[in-house]
Amino acid sequence: MLDKLKNGKDKAVGKLKETAGKWMDDEELEFRGKVQGIKGDMGEKAEDVKDNVMEKANDFVDKVKKE
């Protein structure tokens, strides 16, 4: 749960930095914002994979217990 919040924060803060960098004509800040946004996206994808693996593992364990 905390990872999902952190990923969302990274995406939001990254977008703010990117926008501020564009507005202030600061290429470094804009780049850092893009990188932070990508970090948030990657974290969300990793969380999705983890959730799917856990779901499949739980299904397998439940199936084995029934047999």
pTM given for the model: 0.77
Tell me: pLDDT of 1 over 80. Answer: no
Summarize pLDDT for 3-50 with one digit per residue, the tens.
Answer: 889 999 999 999 999 999 999 999 999 999 999 999 999 999 999 999
Residue 38's contacts (CB-CB under 8 Å, 6 or more residues apart) are: 14
Report residue 66's pLDDT band, with 50, 70 and 90 as the boundaries: confident
Question: What is the reported pLDDT for 3?
Answer: 86
Question: Any idea where the domains of the chain sit in the sequence?
Answer: 2-66
Let me know: does 4 contact 30? Beta carbons within 8 Å: no
Question: What is the reported pLDDT for 6?
Answer: 93
